[in-house]
Chain A
Amino acid sequence: MPSKTIKVDLLARVEGEGALKLVIRDGKVRRAEFNIFEPPRFFEAFLRGRHFTETPDIVARICGICPVAYQMSAVHALENLVGVSVDGPLRELRRLLYCGEWIESHVLHIYMLHAPDFLGYDGGVQMARDHGDAVKRGLQLKKVGNEILQLLGGREIHPINVRVGGFHRTPRKRELAPLAEKLKWAREAALETARWVATFDFPERERDYAFVTLNHATEYPFNEGRIVSNRGLDIAAAEYDEHFEESHVAHSTALHSRLKDGGGAYLTGPLARFNMCFAQLSPLAQQTAREIGLGESCRNPYRSIMVRAVETVYACDEALRVIENYEEPDTPCVAVQPRSGVGYAATEAPRGMLYHRYQIGDDGLIQDAQIVPPTSQNQACLEEDLIDFIGGFLDLPDKDLQYRAEQTVRNYDPCISCATHFLTLDIDRA
């Protein structure tokens, strides 16, 4: 087998801009580099000196596709810092908001970004020519997620209604009622989505991943829970820095997160949640997983599109539960007073765990901020996937091999814009 180098200069259908390089020697993938050439935007730096109440509006701008994840991690970390807990209907509304983001983000990924790989199209719009009904179903389903964001957040991208302590305005019961009708349709559409993606052809490739996820005794994880792994990790968000490390190395364009003490690369996101938290899925979501042949665990990253569909069923189900039980709160927000200290939180963005830490002074101004997005956390794992899997496809023609490699990256739904500290670097073409 000849030596060759496969390069994809601009990887399409991921958020932000990334490139991929595979070095193949003697029939083996020697090196895989997933390069991100997103210009740095310095959020952690300019958060210093801002008032802590400004944080939810500012961090939303890290990513247009999962702004709620940034807002939720920030408000929870800051509430942890000032010693406030948000319970009852306000806590439930936050779950509802996250459901909206999960639905729109998962459905966007499934229909517009990932399904085209399995069916052989350049993108969702091209796919619509032959699969019009499916694409229309996807767009309508995504829209229901966006309608939750619109009602509760004010708008889909960069919601304006989230604040430390709760919301600026909470919805009336009657405002939520029309959403419930749409969500019942959406739940059916999500089921059909799951059945549809289950018919795709999946490469039979599995790996024994270290899964990392939030885990909560009674809920599928959104905003709260312990950080756990299938290798025995079980910590509070405040202990994150003791167990995880980020490195900044010359040969990579991104910060790589790894587990300390030789724990290495790990996977966060839908597969990790599904494998670790299956018991907390709603009965309907569990039933869907069994019906489409996933069972209770899945280690094949190409099947993550099925897991996303199951999580979409769950998010519709959970959104309906919140709406049906909703009681209007007395106030839209719990009062918060600044005090000096450090606060921590991790939440589950659609594409994986998102960790925030803030330090503020008595004046309420931020002194230090740390934000670790899911794409940083998955970066090392993604490169290991490429090395492991692509080796099995080497007899494919270059064009198909490149396609497989791109698909392997898109399994992750990598959110490059989110990865605030990804940077530009020259590629070593040796």
Chain B
Amino acid sequence: MERKKPRLAVWKFASCDGCQLSLLDCEDELLAVAGALDLAYFPEATRGEVKGVYDLSLVEGSITTAHDAERIHEVRRRSRTLVTIGACATSGGIQALRNFADVREFTSIVYAHPEYIHTLETSTAISDHVPVDFELRGCPINKGQLVDVVSAFLSGRRPNTPAHSVCIECKLKGNVCVMVAKAAPCLGPVTHAGCGALCPSYDRGCYGCFGPKETPNAPSLSAWLGGMGLDAKALERVYRTFNANAETFRKESERHAEQDNQG
């Protein structure tokens, strides 16, 4: 008799679908993953659904509605291991820009009938609501890291995702520093590794899509960027992108927002 395969579920909250799509973009590994796991719930890929408890849940997206704030508890109850994938799920994503603004104003900018819209004032990470077993960073996640996380789960080891900065990835790759050589503003020194120093390899600075690394010194980097000509407004924006609600980036952006207000 065939051994029972662990059940995989893929859940979606507020997001662009890009992180779960990364799984379908693993063209070479997809059928192997499907062979090792039972794709029990993955509405983007299949209409079949196996009810019950899942061994591994991958959760994409942030919590932005009252209904989703309820639903995530249900997902947690039904998941033995819960892994969040991507910046939306680990820090609130780009939609967390509402956390710095008045969501009612946002609503009236986009919708003719704001009264039909029911949304929370904040966009928050999954771990703000339920315990999470592992967080995979990135907007989008790196699919090599995703495959590693899934195979780590299958073999019962820790995922192999280094916690150093994008700077180290540049050094490993032999890239010339874009800050030094091109005077390009770069968040690499405070950004979590994982992308393989993609942007500097394409002659541009990092914009921080993997979020803050473990021990970042953002004020020091800001001083450097200030020296390169970025004013308080620009610095505020630099930290407010796809991980705007991650603590280090949020605090640093708020510091510059205050400076800007004091003019």
The reply to whether the CB of A247 lies closer than 8 angstroms to some CB of chain B is: yes
0/1 string, B190-218, CB within 8 A of A gives 1 = 00000100110111100101000000000
Q: In the complex, what distance in Å separates the CA atom of A46 from the CA atom of B105?
A: 10
Q: Contact between B14 and A125 (Cβ–Cβ < 8 Å)? A: no
B198 touches A154 (CB 8 A): yes
A168 to B140, CA, bound (A): 20
Q: Is the CB of B14 within 8 A of A41?
A: yes
Q: Kindly identify, within residues 116 to 154 of chain A, every residue whose CB is under 8 Å from any CB belonging to chain B.
A: 122-126, 128, 135-136, 139-140, 142-143, 146, 154
User: Which residue of A50, A160, A163, A250 contacts B198 across the interface (Cβ within 8 Å)?
Assistant: A160
Proximity string of chain B (7-24) to chain A, C-beta cutoff 8 Å, 1 when within and 0 when not: 000001111111111101
Q: Which residues of A contact B117 (CB under 8 A)?
A: 40, 423-424
A124: nearest residue on chain B (CB-CB)? B45
What residue of chain B has the Cβ atom nearest to residue A420's Cβ?
B110
- In angstroms, how far is the closest chain A Cβ from the Cβ of B69? 11
| Contact, CB under 8 Å: A61 / B112 | no
Contacting pair A423 B116 (CB below 8 A): yes
Structural contact, B67 and A61, CB atoms closer than 8 A = no
Expressed in whole angstroms, the Cα–Cα distance for A128 and B46 within the complex equals 12
Closest to B25 in A: A156
User: Once the chains bind, are A10 and B43 in contact (CB under 8 Å)?
Assistant: yes
The answer on a CB contact under 8 Å between A57 and B204 is no
Tell whether, in the assembled complex, residue B202 and residue A161 are in contact, meaning their CB atoms are under 8 Å apart.
yes
Contacts known (A39-B13, A123-B48, A139-B27); A13 close to B43, Cβ less than 8 A: yes
Determine which of A40, A157, A160 lies in contact with B21 in the assembled complex, contact meaning CB atoms within 8 Å: A157
Q: How far is the CB of A388 from chain B (nearest CB, A)?
A: 23
A46 to B98 CA separation, bound complex (whole angstroms): 8
Q: How far is the CB of A44 from the nearest CB of chain B, in Å?
A: 5
Task: State how many angstroms separate the Cβ of A354 from the closest Cβ of chain B.
Answer: 15
* B203 touching A67, Cβ below 8 Å: no
Interface string of A231-255 (1 = CB under 8 A from B): 0000000000000000111100001
Knowing A42-B98, A143-B28, the reply to whether A125 touches B46 (Cβ < 8 A) is yes
Cβ-based interface call for B1 (8 A): no
- Contact residues in B for A65 (Cβ distance below 8 Å): 17-18, 21
B95 at the interface (CB under 8 A from A): yes
A394 adjacent to chain B (CB < 8 Å): no
Decide if A250 touches B17 in the complex (CB within 8 Å).
Answer: no
Establish whether residues A61 and B31, one from each chain, have CB atoms under 8 Å apart when the complex forms.
Answer: no
Q: In angstroms, how far is the closest chain A Cβ from the Cβ of B90? A: 15
Asked if residues A12 and B47 are in contact (CB atoms below 8 Å), the reply is yes
Inter-chain CA distance A42–B14, complex, in Å, is 11
A250 touching B116 in the complex, CB below 8 Å, given contacts A62-B16, A139-B30: yes
A248-B113 in contact (CB<8A): yes
Please indicate the chain A residues that have their CB under 8 angstroms from the CB of B106 in the complex: 42, 45-46
Q: A46-B98, A46-B101 are in contact. Are A122 and B110 (CB under 8 A)?
A: no
A86 at the interface (CB under 8 A from B): no
Residues of A within 8 A of B48 (CB): 12, 122-123, 126
Contact at A50–B237, with CB atoms within 8 Å?
Answer: yes
B242 within 8 A of A: yes
Determine how close the nearest CB of chain A comes to the CB of B188; give it in whole angstroms.
Answer: 13
* Chain A residues positioned under 8 Å from B109 (CB to CB): 42, 44-45, 48
Query: B179 an interface residue at 8 Å Cβ cutoff?
Result: no
Instruction: Say if the beta carbon of B127 comes within 8 Å of chain A.
Output: no
Q: Whole-angstrom distance from the CB of A120 to the nearest CB of chain B? A: 11
Other A-B pairs, 15, CB within 8 Å; known A13-B43, A417-B17 = A13-B44, A39-B14, A41-B94, A41-B95, A42-B110, A46-B98, A57-B207, A62-B16, A64-B140, A65-B21, A125-B34, A136-B31, A143-B27, A157-B25, A248-B113
Sort A-B residue pairs by CB-CB distance and give the 5 closest, nearest first.
A64-B18, A123-B46, A12-B47, A122-B48, A45-B106
